[in-house]
DNA sequence: GTCTATAAGGTGATAGAC
DNA sequence: GTCTATCACCTTATAGAC
């Protein structure tokens, strides 16, 4: 592993845990086992380093999701595919949702740029989704749902357990690994729950 | 309004928006229209001031919820009551969930102390809930659910839209007030969705 | 109670030796 | 490339006048 990769890995850990404002260049350097000045040699500034970290995490968070939304499959198949993808991706990276959401306030423009760069047009996706939901409603397969409700329900059920991970761990005093194992293993249960809730 | 209340109000706004690490005493002072030294006169330190803010917000977040969990009503009535309470409380304070969750990492002990101080024993609540869920499952009214799943599903569906508020606003370019109005108005829809998903 | 001035320490970033 | 030393700035907190 190159020094640059080593630093980036350490920086990712620290930034994800603490957030940009609370993350310290000194802590990142120590975590990487190198000197603080070397961080600036490779990345010039904290902000630029954070940009790179955010871009990687953003891709992990969104890649694949847009494709499923736009696929020509039934709405129930979309539910299954979305739950499967989200839980798979986030299980590998439990801090991801809170990191993205938490850092958003500080620099919303960054997110918008990322969306454009990755060719994700969420407004267009929602319009298309709205059409499909309406058609399936008319066909009698599902109850009436807006595209917003559809997305929020799926994301809420999949992501919230990871977002509230530390809250739950500390409140009920459960083991972190056990908890993550539990929420990651709920693919079928969540999928069934959503489909049962949507069926006409 | 006393100066102390004025400061606390300004401090709450800034801390909730920026988080502890990014919040600046100077910004709070300006927001309150007073001098920075006066903050320390009233609250001694940033940390102590934050303690007070957090305690108030914590109570708003948890008060009532424990009571519903422990009430002697059917599981469907609990769903209805919980969704109603959560959406009512959070609608009045959309930043609340992310604030509590986001600040947790920095000081988990604070949360544990709050739970004890407010006499909320979540572990005991979950045991009791588990019992009820099992009984209603045996009675044939609902599918099999763990207490964890029950709580996570409800909280995810109610809270996630507020947690991801800024993500959604920026991604789809929707108006903030419109969005909050929409998610706050989903009480019936979410309740129906959950009950449909749980029914045997 | 409220202010100005300032101390004390932390933090990102750079200079320059090796 | 990697280090030590250091600058320049920012932020919390206090001292002391009014």
Distance CA B155, CA B82 (A): 9
Domain limits for position A158: 63-95+121-198
Which residue among B104, B153, B192 places its CB closest to the CB of A170? B104
Provide the 8-state DSSP code for A2.
-
- Number of A/B CB contacts below 8 angstroms equals 128
Same domain, B178 and B118: yes
What is the per-residue pLDDT across A159-188, written as a single tens digit (0 to 9) for each?
A: 999 999 999 999 888 999 999 999 999 999
Beta-carbon separation of A102 and B98 below 8 A: yes
What is the per-residue pLDDT across B48-83, written as a single tens digit (0 to 9) for each?
A: 999 999 999 999 988 899 999 999 999 999 999 999
Residue B51 falls within a domain, yes or no?
A: no
Provide the 8-state DSSP code for A139.
T
Report how many helices (DSSP H) and strands (DSSP E) chain A contains, helices first: 13, 0
Write out the two tokens for B48: 């102590």
Whole-number pLDDT of residue A165: 97
Distance CA A11, CA A32 (A): 8
Residue A129 falls within a domain, yes or no?
A: yes
Q: Is the pLDDT of residue A132 over 90?
A: yes
Q: In a 3-state reduction of DSSP, which class is residue B140?
A: coil
Same domain, B121 and B22: no
Residue A58 falls within a domain, yes or no?
A: no
Whole-number pLDDT of residue A191: 98
Q: How distant is the Cα of A51 from the closest Cα of chain B, in angstroms?
A: 17
Residue A50 falls within a domain, yes or no?
A: no
Which residue among A122, A167, A186 places its CB closest to the CB of B101? A167
pTM for this prediction: 0.97
What is the per-residue pLDDT across B17-53, written as a single tens digit (0 to 9) for each?
A: 999 999 999 999 999 999 999 999 999 999 999 999 9
Burial grade of A42 (CB within 10 A; 0-12, 13-18, 19 or more)? middle
Same domain, B8 and B69: no
Whole-number pLDDT of residue A199: 97
Same domain, B7 and B98: no
Same domain, B100 and B35: no
Instruction: Confirm if A107 and B166 have CB atoms less than 8 A apart.
Output: no
Whole-number pLDDT of residue A63: 87
* Residue whose structure tokens are 């102590």: B48
Instruction: Confirm if B22 and B40 have CB atoms less than 8 A apart.
Output: no
In this structure, the number of other CB atoms found within 10 A of the CB of residue A188 comes to 11
CATH number of A17's domain: 1.10.10.60
Distance CA B86, CA B89 (A): 5
Mean predicted lDDT score pLDDT of chain A: 96
- Find and list the nucleotides of strand C having atoms within 7 Å of a protein beta carbon: 1-5, 11-16
Interface with B, mutate which of A172, A184, A191, A195 (most B CBs under 10 A) = A172
Sequence-separated (6 or more) residues with CB below 8 Å from residue B99: B15, B16, B19, B57
Distance CA B45, CA A35 (A): 32
Report the domain count for chain A. Answer: 2
Provide the 8-state DSSP code for B33.
T
CA closest to C1 C1', residue: B38
Instruction: Confirm if B172 and A122 have CB atoms less than 8 A apart.
Output: yes
Q: Is the pLDDT of residue A56 over 90?
A: yes
Same domain, A74 and A6: no
Same domain, A36 and A85: no
CATH number of B96's domain: 1.10.357
Q: What long-range pairs does B193-196 form, CB within 8 A, spacing at least 24?
A: B193/A153, B193/A197, B193/A198, B193/B157, B194/A197, B194/B79, B194/B83, B194/B153, B194/B154, B194/B157, B195/B76, B195/B79, B195/B80, B196/A196, B196/A197, B196/A199
Residue B54 falls within a domain, yes or no?
A: no
Distance CA A109, CA B171 (A): 10
Same domain, A79 and A134: yes
Mean predicted lDDT score pLDDT of chain B: 96
Percent of chain B with pLDDT over 90: 94
Q: How distant is the Cα of A161 from the closest Cα of chain B, in angstroms?
A: 6
């Amino acid at each position: 592993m190159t020094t640059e990769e080593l630093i980036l890995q350490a920086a990712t850990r620290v930034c994800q845990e603490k957030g940009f404002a609370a993350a310290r260049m000194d802590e990142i350097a120590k975590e990487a086992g190198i000197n603080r000045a070397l961080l600036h040699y490779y990345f010039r500034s904290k902000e630029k380093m954070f940009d790179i970290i955010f871009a990687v995490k953003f891709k992990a968070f969104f890649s694949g999701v847009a494709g499923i939304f736009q696929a020509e499959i039934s709405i129930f198949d979309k539910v299954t595919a979305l739950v499967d993808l989200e839980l798979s991706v986030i299980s590998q990276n439990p801090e991801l949702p809170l990191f993205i959401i938490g850092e958003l306030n500080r620099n919303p423009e960054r997110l918008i740029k990322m969306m454009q760069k990755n060719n994700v047009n969420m407004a267009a996706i929602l319009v298309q989704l709205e059409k499909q939901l309406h058609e399936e409603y008319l066909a009698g397969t599902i109850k009436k749902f807006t595209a917003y409700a559809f997305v929020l329900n799926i994301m809420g059920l999949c992501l919230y357990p990871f977002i509230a991970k530390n809250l739950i761990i500390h409140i009920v005093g459960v083991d972190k690994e056990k908890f993550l194992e539990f929420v990651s293993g709920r693919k079928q249960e969540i999928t069934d729950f959503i489909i049962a809730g949507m069926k006409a």
